[in-house]
Amino acid sequence: MKLKHLKINTHCDCQYPITWVAENKETCRINRNYKERHEPTYNGISISVQLPGSDLWAEFAANDEGWMYVADWDADDLPEIAISDGIREVEENVNRILKELLNQ
């Protein structure tokens, strides 16, 4: 799946950025209770995928600066959805939160 609009956060230091994930993965695990203590626009939703050479799941979230790798963790208990749906949900959440912040 190619998503040309995907923007990578300049602070992203993952060997496999979200663009690789979008092109090489069909499904992801979705965390609809994600909390980031530093960036409110991360709050709400993240996605996780298994990357080559790892038993853990790589977690990705987004904010107004783009997509960023968050951490490796165990996401086995989270629901599995299509990668395109996961990316869409995260981006819609970021847009909703940014809109709320601008209207304060």
CA distance 104 to 55: 42
Domain ranges in the chain? 18-102
Please state the pTM of the whole predicted model.
0.87
Write the pLDDT tens digit of every residue in 70-91: 889 999 999 999 999 999 999 9
DSSP string, 21-82: HHHH-SEEEEEEEE--SS-GGGTEEEEEEEPTT-SSEEEEEEETTEEEEEEEE--TTSPEEE
Hunting for tokens 């050479």 — which residue is that? 53
Kindly report the backbone phi and psi dihedral angles of residue 74, in degrees, each rounded to the nearest multiple of 5, phi listed first.
Answer: -95, 105
User: Are residues 28 and 86 in contact, defined by beta-carbon separation less than 8 angstroms?
Assistant: yes
Write the pLDDT tens digit of every residue in 44-55: 899 999 998 888
User: Are residues 30 and 45 in contact, defined by beta-carbon separation less than 8 angstroms?
Assistant: yes
